[in-house]
């Protein structure tokens, strides 16, 4: 078992604090909104594992910094995610981290509350895998970095969005680069509550204290039970998706990925 002091200060893109067993994980880049790169990709993979190994974590709050949760947006009018064909060895590190990222998150055996504080344009599947998902009224959701950013949507988004939104909605979302606002996200089942930004984190803490009123085993085993089906899907399909994503990233007809 790990202790809070073992891991809480070792990540550049995750600020952690804990009060009464409630762990707040705030994602950031240099104190501002998270800018997605290989750094948080690796850090979140390892941090979720560490958090899951600390038995003193009883409820998790996952949130962002400032007025956005994650970015920047990519797509046909911006820069592609990968600027040149990658080699097998270059992709292998991404594959290694990627196949553990979502499983490490789902292997955390206590309830997770996501407080999505604004636009979530890169890897929105991460907060959306939480047990309770609340968002600010300024939140928007997009998968900008995969199909429209030049990559096969194979690193888990191909599992999570069809699972949460339904098959047809999920595939449309991934293949069109669709951006949906908070109200649309609630209507299709991605989020549970919409609040003004200033009320978002207080509401997350209110929900965390509500969950803390229940017994530890009730909380822990409810989390394990209600994530089991999704974990099975991730185990079956995630590695295959990453392999196809990597294969396509090694070449395209324009010589650029």
Which candidate in 67, 125, 193, 245 is catalytic? Answer: 125
Measure the CA–CA gap between 46 and 7, rounded to whole angstroms.
10
Measure the CA–CA gap between 240 and 131, rounded to whole angstroms.
26
Cα separation of the two ends of the chain = 42
**Nearest Cα residue to 157 out of 203, 122, 185:** 122
The answer to whether the CB of 57 falls within 8 A of the CB of 51 is yes
125 is catalytic: yes
Measure the CA–CA gap between 4 and 6, rounded to whole angstroms.
5
Measure the CA–CA gap between 200 and 83, rounded to whole angstroms.
37
User: What are the catalytic residues?
Assistant: 125
């Amino acid at each position: 078992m790990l202790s809070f002091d073992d891991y809480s200060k070792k990540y550049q893109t995750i600020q952690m604090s804990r009060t009464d067993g409630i762990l707040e994980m705030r994602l950031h880049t240099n104190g501002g909104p998270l800018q997605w790169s290989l750094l948080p990709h690796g850090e979140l993979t390892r941090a979720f594992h560490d958090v899951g190994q600390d038995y003193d974590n009883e409820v998790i709050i996952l949130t962002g910094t400032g007025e956005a949760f994650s970015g920047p947006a990519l797509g046909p009018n911006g820069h592609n995610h990968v600027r040149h064909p990658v080699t097998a060895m270059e992709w292998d590190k991404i594959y290694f981290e990627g196949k553990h990222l979502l499983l490490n998150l789902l292997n955390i055996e206590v309830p997770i509350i996501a407080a999505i504080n604004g636009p979530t344009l890169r890897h929105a599947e991460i907060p959306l895998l939480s047990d309770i998902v609340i968002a600010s009224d300024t939140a928007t959701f997009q998968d900008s970095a995969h199909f429209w950013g030049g990559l096969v949507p194979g690193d888990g988004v191909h599992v999570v969005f069809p699972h949460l939104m339904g098959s047809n909605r999920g595939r449309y979302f991934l293949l069109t680069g669709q951006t949906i606002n908070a109200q649309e996200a609630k209507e299709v089942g991605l989020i549970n509550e919409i609040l003004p930004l200033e009320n978002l984190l207080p509401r997350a803490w209110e929900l965390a204290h509500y969950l803390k009123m229940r017994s530890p085993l009730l909380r822990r085993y409810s989390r394990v039970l209600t994530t089991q089906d999704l974990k099975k899907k991730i185990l079956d399909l995630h590695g295959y998706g990453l392999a196809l994503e990597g294969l396509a990233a090694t070449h395209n007809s324009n010589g650029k990925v």
